[in-house]
Structure formats: C-alpha cells, structure tokens
Amino acid sequence: MDILTISLETAIGPIAAVYVLAAIGLNMHFGYTGLLNFGQVGFMLVGAYGVGVGVGTFGLSLWVAVVLSIACAAVLALLLGIPTLRLRADYLAITTIAVAEAARLLYRAEFARPLTGGVYGRQSLAEGFYDANPVPPGRYGVLGVDFSANQVWLMLVTWGVVGVALLLTSALMHSPWGRVIKGIREDEDAVRSLGKDVFVYKTQSLVLGGVLGGLAGAMLAINQQNITPDQFMPQVTFYLWAMLLLGGAARTFGPVLGPMVLWFLLTAFDETLRTLASEDLLPFIDGSDIGALRHAFVGLALVLLIVYRPQGLIGDRKEMLVNVK
Amino acid sequence: MSSEPRTADGAVRDRMAGVEPAAGVAKPDPILKASGVRRSFGGLTAVDVGHLEVQRGTITALIGPNGAGKSTLFNLLTGFDRVDAGEWSFEGRRLNGLGGHRVARQGMVRTFQLTKALTRLTVLDNMLLAAPGQVGEHFLGALLRPRWRHQEEANRERAMELLARFKLDAKKDDLAGSLSGGQRKLLEMARSLMVNPSMVMLDEPMAGVNPALVQSLLGHITSLRDEGMTVLFVEHDMDVIMGISDWIVVLAQGSVIAEGRPEDIRSNQEVVDAYLGAHHDEPGASAPGSGEEA
C-alpha cells in the first residue's frame, strides 16, 4: 500500500495547497465572474518571483517579499484588465495566455539576469521561513503518512492561507458584491442596464483572483526554496483548469477538492506505472515515457469528466444545464 | 386596451393635448430631449434624428420598419452605444458620454429585445441585484455583513412586493433560466422597477410572448404610466401600439418621419409609405418586400 500513502501525502501536501490556492483564484475569475483567464500561471510566476527577487536579489525579509508578491500580482492584473475588460470576453483569454508566456520569457531573458537570475532563477529563499518554524523537530504522521517538522510547518501555513482565502471568497460571494459578480457572468449588459459599473467589478475580481495566484506562487517558492522560470510553463494553467472543472466551478470547495483529487490520481498513476516498469511488467514502456503517459491520462480524465459529469464532482447539475437549450 | 378605470378614450388623448402631430415637435413637459443624434456604421447612417422629445408621464411608442434604427436609437440614448454627433438630456441633465450604468442611475432604465434574465441566479437574486445604492455592493463593504443586512432586508421586501405584482412571487427561489419566455419578460420588467426609474425604455416587450400574457404585460405598462412613470417602447404589433400609446414616433431610415396620436399615425400617408414601400401603389413597381430593407 505504498502507492496509496505516497498519493495521499501528495494530495494533502504543500504542493497541492499551492494548486488549491491558485485554483481558488481561477474560480473567482471563471467560476463566479465568467472571466476566461488562461494565464493563471503568470500570476504564480510574478508571485514566486516577488519572493525570488525580494529575498534572492535584494535580501529583503521573506515577509516583506510576500507583500511584494501580492503587489506584483495586483499590478499584473491591472495591466491585463484595464485594456481588455471593456472588450469581449475572448480578448482577455487571448491576452492572458500570451502575457503569461511572455512574462516567463522575460524573466528568463539574459538581460534580466541581474534581477531574476535568468534561466538559473534564485536559490535559498526560505531560510527565514524555516527559522521561524515553531513545530518541534521530528517526524509526524498517521496511517503511514509521514512528514518532517518543516513540512508540517509549511503545510500549516499554506493550508492556513487556503482557509483564509476560502473564508474571504465565500463571504464575498454571499454578499451583494458576489451577486453582482455572478450577474456579470450571466450577462454583463443586463447588469450594466441596472446601474452597476461592470468594468470596476471585473477589475476587482481579476485582481483578487490574481493575488491569490500570486500568493500560490510565493508559497511555491517557499516550498521549493528556489525557483526557475521554466517551472511556469503554460501547462500549469491547464492543470489548474482541469482541477477546477474536476472539483466543480462556482462552488466554494470545488477548487479545493479538484487539485487534491487530481494530485492523488496523478501520483497514484505515476507510482503504479513506475512500480510495474521496475518489475519489467511493462516491457513496451520506457521510464521516460511515464511523463507523456501522464498527460494522456489527464486528457482522458477530462474527456470522461465532460461526458459524464460536466458540472464536476460537487457542481450543481441543474445550474449547469439551465443554459442548455 | 387601457386598464385605467377612471379615464375614457378621450382622457387618454388629453395627455398630449395641444401638441401638433409633427415630426420633432416640442412637448409641454419633456423628460427626454434629443437633438441631432447621429450614428453611422461604416457608410450606413443608422440613426439621424433631428429633434425628439418625450413627454413626461406618457406611453410613447417608437415604431418603424425593420432596420429603421429603433434599437440603435435605444442603445444610443441609454449609453449602450456611442453617438457620432448630437446631444440629449434626461430630466434636464446632459447624458452625452455617460456609460450605460450611469444612465440607469439617472433614472432611465432599459430592457432588451432579447430578454436578459440572469439565468443561473434565482428570480429573487435577479431582483435584489437591481436595487440601487447597496452598501454591500462595494468590495470592502461586502465583508461587513452587519452594515448591509438591514438594507438587504428592506430590498427583499420591496422585491417581493414587485414579484407579487408581476405574479412571480411563487417562483422566487427558482433559477431565472427555468422561467418561460413570457415570465422572463415579466421578470425583466419587474427587475427594471427595482432601480426606481422615472422612465423605462422597453425594447420589444411583447416579442415572443403568448397572447394571454400580452394582455397582462399591457396592463402592467399602463399601470406604470398611471403611477407617473414615463414609458418609451419599441414594438411591432400595431394593435398593441394603437391600443395603449399616448403618442407614437415613427422612425424610418434612421430619421423621425412622423409623430402623433394613434389616430394621426393611422392616417399618415408617409407612415404607410415607409412600411409598404414608397411606390407600392404604382403599377409595375417592385415587390412590397423592398420596403423591408429600408
């Protein structure tokens, strides 16, 4: 049952929490506001580099650097939103996917190396974080799940941030503000005709979701203690989309469940293949093919999801089908 | 057709007493005034209105053949499209350059030809969304529930009263997307009233509505006027228009070609020409369909 415990560890580990946080941001954009953001990884990138540049280049304290991450994500949201949010929804989609990829290329460029470290990124970013660890050293775990004291500290913080993000988004979505946001998802002209400034609401939503993505990036930097630009490839965004749709968009816990389930399945899939391959039970599969098979697996899972459960695991089918004529 | 118990046919005409039935004529108490409003798409001039006034407290119909520019004029006046030239004012305030949401806040609220119910919101949420000046609508205000709870209660009460009036109160917890086409029209009208408008602009309120519901919609429109609201509406059904309008404005090829009471319009040769094609009575002229393209 080794595979099961490893998969479980991944599903509740800090990486899953990072993806949950980014997916909550994406849920704010797509699930509630109907904004097609195909560049959530761009917010993670600027968030991670807020820590990377803040700590690695300028030697700021980590906590100041996290504030820098939030500020960078907010600025990116404004840069993306101000020119596109008055236009049709498609323009934001095109812009976000392009800007996220352009940002990665910019951060890894040779001329940016004094600031960002170029292709090598930045290292030793989280010493301040682990120095502040109040958890006594040792191993922690139940049922075979096993974490070090530093991992427990990191999980407390990342899942704590997730908890705060959930409280915040849920309070907002159950307020009149959230009602306007959901109205915009349904028909922004109708909302405008009732006297609401749609542009302001869409900008607020984009900034909020973007900041959550930026925080996810900052958490990622702390978790790994180093970052390189090439971790922020476009497929991260699409994993996030798959996770959100799997969990169920426009639900508070949809973006929590989705990443946990998908990380569990991905790890179980990888580990199973690896075990079988190591025992020569899969002679036609090379060790390096596993990564490719994993993509195929995610694709298949998405197809099955859309056919059999388009509303996601905890989505509302009635709500999903109301627009299907 | 008029549901007013106290006014006979003659009294309805009185609302526009002393106004000459002529295009661009001045009204005694105009709530909306537009001058030189022009909009073209490429080479095509969609709207070119010299002067138009709408009398306060009346039902004014805007009619015209397909492509006459009725919807474009609606969009321009309500801030959903930009004019190329001209200016217009509502209650004496210039509206030029104001976005759709600002126009609505001034008290001029529109509905749409293709009904825009917010389908994945409940009927009640559709109503509540429209209430003006909500504290909880601001990002930070939203987080302080005690600050907007009472306002929300008051809005809910008002929404339920309006829903009861439009006979939608039993549906308050249903998704708006589950309503029939006619019920969506009713919801849209009720929702526009949540904004507390002084003028409602209805873009084809009867389109696609079954005859039984048309009667009820007409009743609602006349009762809006009787409460002192001004109604401007676009419609195609001539029986409906002749039945409830105090005044009719005829648009053809983007310009106002005639104005008047229903009787004036019925007998106006220019209007007949605009609808049927100017040369419909000449022998050997092209098919009547040519007028449709105008």
Summarize the confidence of residues B96-100 as an average pLDDT: 91
Q: What residues of chain A lie within 8 A of the CB of B135, using their CB? A: 176
CA distance A325 to chain B (A): 10
**Three-state SS at B258:** strand
pLDDT tens digits along B21-30 = 888 888 889 9
Q: Say if the Cβ atoms of B112 and A192 lie within 8 Å.
A: no
Question: CB distance A176–B152 less than 8 Å?
Answer: yes
CB A142 within 8 A of CB A76: no
| Cβ–Cβ under 8 Å, residues B124 and B196 | no
How would you classify the pairing of strands B44-55 and B30-41?
A: antiparallel
Does residue A197 sit at the B interface (CB-CB below 8 Å)? yes
| Range list of β-strands (E), chain A | 139-140, 147-148
Label residue A325 by pLDDT band (50, 70, 90).
Answer: very low
pLDDT tens for residues A35-71?
A: 999 999 999 999 999 999 999 899 899 999 999 999 9
Question: Is A200 in CB contact (< 8 Å) with chain B?
Answer: no
B118–A191 CB contact, under 8 Å: yes
Helix (H, G, I), strand (E, B) or coil at A22: helix
Pairing mode of beta strands B85-90, B30-41:
antiparallel
Closest listed residue to residue A27, CA positions, set A187, A249, A239:
A249
B114 touches chain A (CB under 8 A): no
- Res. A1: pLDDT tops 80: no
Considering CB atoms only, which of B118, B178, B195 is closest to A195? Answer: B195
ipTM: 0.87
Q: Is B104 on the interface with A (CB under 8 A)?
A: yes
Taking the domains of chain A in order of start, what are their residue ranges? 3-133+144-320
CB pair distance less than 8 Å for B125 and A179: yes
Q: Does B82 touch chain A (CB under 8 A)?
A: no
Reading the block at residue A162, the tokens are: 């997730």
CA A21 to each of CA A24, A265, A320, B107: distance values in angstroms, whole numbers, following the listed order: 5, 19, 24, 42
Please provide the distance, in angstroms rounded to a whole number, between the alpha carbons at the two ends of chain B. Answer: 31
- Output the pLDDT for position B166: 94
- pLDDT, residue B42, reads 87
Q: What is the mean pLDDT of residues A18-29?
A: 97
Q: Which two tokens stand for residue B89?
A: 């004012």
- Residues in Cβ contact with A12 at an 8 Å cutoff, skipping those fewer than 6 apart: A145, A155, A260
Task: Provide the token pair at A30.
Answer: 């797509």
Q: Are A181 and A32 in contact (CB under 8 A)?
A: yes
Q: A294 CB near a chain B CB, below 8 Å?
A: no
Quick check: B177 and B171 in contact, CB under 8 A? Answer: no
Cβ-nearest to B121 among A186, A194, A197: A186
User: Residue B110 has which token pair?
Assistant: 């529109």
**SS3 of B239, please?**
helix
The residue of chain A with its CA nearest to that of B194 is: A194
Handedness of CA B31, B35, B41, B45 (dihedral sign): positive
Beta bridge partners of B35: B51, B87
Q: Does B174 touch chain A (CB under 8 A)?
A: no
Q: Give tens-digit pLDDT for B73-89.
A: 999 999 999 999 999 99
Residues B128, B57: Cα–Cα separation, whole Å:
26
Model-level pTM greater than 0.80?
yes
- CA distance linking residue B152 with residue B194, whole number of Å: 13
The reply to whether residue B100 touches residue A189, judged by beta carbons under 8 angstroms, is yes
- The pLDDT tens digits of the residues spanning A7-21 come to 999 999 999 999 999
List helix spans (H) across B171-210: 181-194
Q: Is A177 on the interface with B (CB under 8 A)?
A: yes
* pLDDT, position B3: 41
Does residue A204 carry a pLDDT above 90?
Answer: yes
CA distance A65 to chain B (A): 25
From B125's Cα to the closest Cα of chain A, the distance in A is 7
Q: Which of A270, A266, A268, A269 is nearest to A288 (CA)?
A: A270
Of A176, A204, A323, the CB nearest to B136: A176
Q: Average pLDDT of B204-211?
A: 86
How far does A321 lie from chain B, in Å, by closest CA? Answer: 9
Q: Is B110 on the interface with A (CB under 8 A)?
A: yes
Mean local confidence (pLDDT), B174-189: 92
Portion of chain A with pLDDT greater than 90, in percent: 64
pLDDT digits (tens, 9 = 90+) for A116-170: 988 899 988 888 888 888 888 888 887 778 888 888 999 999 999 999 999 999 9
Report yes or no: A183 at the B interface, CB cutoff 8 Å: yes
CA gap A46, A216 in Å, rounded: 10
**B205 with B152: CB under 8 angstroms?**
no
Burial class (CB in 10 A: 0-12, 13-18, 19+), B233: buried
